Amino acid sequence: MDPLTHALSGALLARATAQKPQQAKGLNPQLPLRTRIIIGFSAAAFPDLDLALRLIDTITYLNWHQGPTHSLVLLPAWALLLSLLFARLLHHQYSWKLFYLPVCLGIGIHIVGDLITSYGLMLFAPFSTQRFSLPLAFVIDPWFSLIIISGLVLSFLFPQKKSFSTYALLALVGYIATLWHLHERALNIGTDYMKNGAFHSGTVHALPQPLSPFNWKIIIHQDDSFHLTYANLWPHLDDLQSDDTKTAKWQLKKMAATYRPTTKLIWQHHQQFGDDPNNVILARKSWQQPAFEKFRSFSVFPLLDRIEHNKNGICFWFYDLRFQFPELPPSFRYGICQKEGDSEWQMLRQKGLFLID
């Protein structure tokens, strides 16, 4: 999720779990409600401090983003450090122990929010760098954010009613359940296509896409090839969408028109190392070069973008299908290049459309 949505989700959860003033008296002191909400907001923003890795270089950021700061194993340690920091910032007006639970909740809801995107989290760092993902929501989901904002606004307008924040959290759970259902539908479409195509093997993946929770990219990974399609799972879409995507004039409309009804899907077939038999062996060799190890570690669905010949030598450019969207150039494109007459290979980055590229 985007950093602001993360932070707001922490504030919402902090509000929903706050005790009523009369319950907090006596032996159970509590933070003031406003302080608790600010702590939840700040704690939920904390894991994305790893964005600073971008200052080193992009490939380091790509490999370690959503790493140790998003670890369930390290969550208690991060919560302790933040609790001590907050207590110090407030001149020890409150014990650090009062901060610990809202901080844990803030970091925890951040982890859940990223877990349902397609990037993947190192949940068990530092003991394992394996990434886990349940790709249900696109990284920027307006509906997800709107539910959170609505809950916070209503809680602000009616500060005595805790129920609005609770209802918003329940609405989030319901929305995630709906996304899970759509994800299963997308997987079933890929499975049916694989069976009808008489594939001997293959793994089906469904990735959430921008513009609508009904937009999905379905990928079938089979050895060194990918079959993919862009589907819109909105019911009765056949009656609403034109067959001709070229009639769309605006960029967003062109993107939206690419996601087609389930009865009119267009499947694409891509070879990981290209379609030219004369270049496949060399492309595969370039992919395996030690200098390209960092990009290989990052990639889940790597695909050859192009082979570039120039007077200085040759470059094989790759990107990851997770970060390629209709009508836009792929993000995070990296090339492995060899100068003419030189035995060494070098990894290069191609800047993309967005700042993070």
Alpha carbons 250 and 272: distance in angstroms, whole number: 31
In a domain, 162, yes or no: no
47-92 pLDDT, tens digit each: 999 999 999 999 999 999 999 999 999 999 999 999 999 999 998 9
Same domain for 195 and 214, yes or no, is yes
Same domain, 81 and 35: yes
């997800």: which residue's tokens? 144
Residue 244, pLDDT > 90, answer: no
Residues 57 and 42 grouped into a single domain: yes
- Are residue 85 and residue 125 in the same domain, yes or no? yes
Which strands, in side-by-side order, build the sheet including 345-350? 302-310, 313-320, 333-339, 345-350
pLDDT exceeds cutoff 60 at 163 = yes
In the prediction, which pLDDT does 246 show?
55
| Residue 30: per-residue pLDDT | 83
Lowest mean pLDDT among 132-136, 194-198, 316-320, 353-357: 353-357
The structure's pTM equals 0.91
pLDDT: is 29 or 237 the higher one? 29
Q: What is the pLDDT of residue 351?
A: 87
User: Number of folded domains in the chain?
Assistant: 3
Report pLDDT digits (tens) over 16-35: 999 876 555 555 678 999 99
User: Is 357 inside any structural domain?
Assistant: no
Any domain includes 146:
no
Work out the average pLDDT over 106-129.
97
Q: What local confidence, expressed as pLDDT, does residue 247 receive? A: 55
Do 333 and 309 sit in the same domain of this protein? yes
Of 271, 304, 339, the position where a domain reaches its end is 271
Q: Is the pLDDT of residue 234 over 90?
A: yes
DSSP track, 64-95: HTTSGGG-TTTHHHHHHHHHHHHHHHTTTSS-
* Residue carrying structure tokens 């390209």: 292
Mean pLDDT of 245-272: 85
DSSP structural state of residue 46: G
Q: Assess if residue 156 is contained within a domain.
A: no
Closest CA to 212 of 261, 309, 140: 140
Residue 99 confidence class, pLDDT cut points 50, 70, 90: very high
Note the pLDDT of residue 26.
52
Task: Tell me if 319 sits within 8 A of 333, measured CB to CB.
Answer: yes
Do 244 and 345 sit in the same domain of this protein? no
Residue 254, helix vs strand vs coil: helix
Q: What is the pLDDT of residue 197?
A: 80
Given pLDDT bands bounded at 50, 70 and 90, which one contains residue 249? low
Pairing of strands 225-232, 302-310: unpaired
pLDDT tier for residue 108 given thresholds of 50, 70 and 90: very high
Beta bridge partners of 345: 338
Residues 6+ apart with CB under 8 A from 213: 137, 138, 141, 143, 178, 179, 182
* HSE-up (13 A, CA, CB side) for residue 254: 9
Give residue-wise pLDDT tens across range 312-331: 899 999 999 999 999 999 99
219 is in which domain, residue-wise?
A: 185-271
Q: Is the pLDDT at 259 greater than 90, yes or no?
A: yes
Do 267 and 289 fall into the same domain? Answer: no
Tell me what pLDDT residue 341 has.
76
Share of the chain above pLDDT 90, in %: 80
- What does the alpha-carbon distance between residue 9 and residue 116 come to, in Å, rounded to a whole number? 14
CA max distance for the chain = 79
Arithmetic mean of pLDDT, 176-185: 98
Q: 289 and 211 share a domain?
A: no
Rounded CA-CA distance 62/49 in Å is 14
- Indicate if the pLDDT at residue 298 is higher than 70: yes
Q: Which residues pair with 228 in a beta bridge?
A: 219, 268
Q: Which of 224, 242, 271 is the last residue of a domain?
A: 271
Average pLDDT, the chain: 92
User: Under a CB-based contact definition with an 8 Å cutoff, are residues 197 and 149 in contact?
Assistant: no
Q: Is residue 172 part of a domain?
A: no
Is residue 160 helix, strand or coil? coil
In a domain, 226, yes or no: yes
Q: What is the pLDDT of residue 217?
A: 98
Q: What would the mean pLDDT of 286-311 be, rounded to a whole number?
A: 95
Q: Report whether pLDDT(111) > 70.
A: yes
